Structure 1
């Protein structure tokens, strides 16, 4: 067993984990030079063109060549703004997240969280290629952080513990993403078959009349009898009222049992440098 190579040893071409150089351009203004001819396109134009291609044809359609072609420039022109496709996708994600409508600071947690969820829904419907990305490895980008900050702020002082705040926002994000994926799949089926959602189910009346057995599916029948399946807008609307009701119970219980106390910003900053150094030490072990 000692002679077995690790995956890293057997894949010498594997890219190293992203470092500061990969994400710094997302936070720093691009350097400008007064020498030579001005660039034919800007970094913002490159990123916007890539986002437009992804919105129209999907993330797989985005390449340095396809973006350059859409801008009527050579592919090498793009490399003066982004060193490669990975960095381009990072910038695309940050640009897309800039469209996310964040909730107002003064809203109570429930309307704020609903506004946050609907903003995320609109974001994924406008930029469905975001659903193709690994949400656990989104770029360390300012607009991505703005979204996370807004979500955490909503629940931070509701009485939930710090872990519950993170878990709850993750559940909300995953719920919204699940609805968005279903809507994307419905869009694809409607386009491929030329039948919208309502027409598809309207055409299934023969099945319900001759094949469906209510005695085999009593729970389904009970729900149907009170109109639970009547909504024809299901794939295109975000339904999270039940989730918010459940969260309301969780917050009420936390308040009744004694709310969790999360340190204030000022308290965190008092030991911030030491805490960061300790965390970096753990990562480097």
Structure 2
């Protein structure tokens, strides 16, 4: 068998539409027979609670069933397996994001959007272990991304710049959240907070550190530039917004790059479908 040929013993993956359908159209509980001991919502909430308390690795069909006081097989009537359960957990978590109100100017809206994402990752740090590039095709995940694109889509940036900028905002928030989560973990394991840790290193700075060897670091330290290092979110997002403001101002000064309206997009889509139908009938 050549490397290019699929192994016939490997089962074909299920269509993604089947996997994500329950997220968009949750199954209705049957009214026939005995009432279900737990609901799909209760299963997902229990899994989120376990992940919040103990991390994503602690979530299994068995651990969730145990927390609900039911057998593991009971859960399979609501979610087919752990992958589908994780999809539902992510969507449930994103339902809590505090999104900006429509109509806000882009800068306060984007700051609110970034802060909402930061708060989401602080409430549910296990989301940092989920590959953001492969998040489930879920309604609340889509609503979150849509809100970000809506903030920037009519600012004069190109379509690619809108996508890239929202990606940079996500990466900035995720980086800050990872640092904060690591600090939380060290504080729990070592029993010292950020200030106490650095206070304990005073001997190093007085006896070992050579300012002449690290002049840039020394100059920054002399004006207090490192004092906010324990609260990474606020200065990082402010710096990003300041830079983005310059980019948007320049784009608008140059006339901007209009992105087609929703109505124009749908008209083009309809015209393309009509062309395909006519070509098929020819």
TM norm structure 2: 0.92
1:112 is aligned to 109
2:160 is aligned to 163
Once the two structures are TM-superposed, the CA of residue 85 in structure 1 deviates from its matched residue by 0.5
Once the two structures are TM-superposed, the CA of residue 216 in structure 1 deviates from its matched residue by 1.2
Question: Alignment partner of 1:9: what SS?
Answer: coil
Q: Decide whether the 8 Å contact of 1:176 with 1:238 is kept in 2.
A: no
Question: Alignment partner of 1:240: what SS?
Answer: helix
Question: Alignment partner of 2:211: what SS?
Answer: coil
Partner Cα separation in structure 1 for residue 263 and residue 215 of structure 2 = 57
Aligned match of 2:238 in 233, 238, 241? 241
Once the two structures are TM-superposed, the CA of residue 211 in structure 1 deviates from its matched residue by 1.0
Q: Decide whether the 8 Å contact of 1:198 with 1:232 is kept in 2.
A: no
Equivalent pairs counted in the alignment come to 275
2:124 is aligned to 127
Aligned match of 2:47 in 3, 26, 50? 50
Q: What does the per-residue CA deviation read over 1:5-44, in whole Å, with 9 as the maximum and x for residues that have no partner? A: 259539826x726511100100003123221011011000
Give the 5 Å matches for 1:1-285. 4-6=2-4, 9=7, 12=10, 16=13, 18-231=15-228, 233-235=230-232, 239-273=236-270
Between 1:208-217 and 1:265-274, the stretch displaced more is: 265-274
Question: Alignment partner of 2:154: what SS?
Answer: coil
Between 1:139-148 and 1:26-35, the stretch displaced more is: 26-35
Partner Cα separation in structure 1 for residue 14 and residue 203 of structure 2 = 56
Once the two structures are TM-superposed, the CA of residue 276 in structure 1 deviates from its matched residue by 8.3
Question: Alignment partner of 1:101: what SS?
Answer: coil
Between 1:29-38 and 1:115-124, the stretch displaced more is: 29-38
Partner Cα separation in structure 2 for residue 215 and residue 244 of structure 1 = 34
Once the two structures are TM-superposed, the CA of residue 92 in structure 1 deviates from its matched residue by 0.1
Q: Decide whether the 8 Å contact of 2:110 with 2:151 is kept in 1.
A: yes
C-alpha change, 1:237 and 1:256, in structure 2 (3 Å) is closer
TM norm structure 1: 0.91
C-alpha change, 1:230 and 1:238, in structure 2 (3 Å) is closer
C-alpha change, 1:18 and 1:217, in structure 2 (3 Å) is farther
Partner Cα separation in structure 1 for residue 228 and residue 14 of structure 2 = 46
Partner Cα separation in structure 2 for residue 19 and residue 47 of structure 1 = 20
Q: Decide whether the 8 Å contact of 2:157 with 2:257 is kept in 1.
A: yes
Q: Decide whether the 8 Å contact of 2:173 with 2:233 is kept in 1.
A: no
1:282 is aligned to none
